[in-house]
Amino acid sequence: MNETLAAWAPRALSVLRIFTGLELLDHGMAKILGFPAVPSFANVQINSLVGASGLIELIGGLLLTIGLFTRPIAFIVSGFAAVAYFMVHAPKGFYPVLNGGDYAALISFVAVYFVFAGGGPWSADALIGRK
């Protein structure tokens, strides 16, 4: 059974990358494109910190979803999420579950993993590497 699971590990990496990219894309679309409509993102200005984070989430989420430039994009996303955690959530308390920073902390560490692991076999990076 371990051998079967190990054989699927690269594909699981790709699935994790795709899902993470879609989560980022979802947040970026809500902030920048207004879809889905989130009341707290109704008046986001592009030149604000929330607008800049929305652009990083939108572009980074799209590129992570397709697996293009996975390692450098993951590095940027990891730093972005860490800054978001320490600027917005950490001042509210130590525990992520209490300060609302669960998502930012998790995204930061998952992105660090992608920096080292890459995008997996189901990625644009893998397709480009085969040519």
User: How many whole angstroms separate alpha carbon 23 and alpha carbon 42?
Assistant: 19
List the chain residues with pLDDT less than 70.
130-131
The pLDDT value recorded for residue 82 is 97
Q: What is residue 59's three-state secondary structure?
A: helix
CA-wise closest residue to 56 among 73, 42, 34, 33: 73
The pLDDT value recorded for residue 1 is 87
Sorted by where each begins, the domain ranges of the chain are 2-130
The pLDDT value recorded for residue 131 is 47
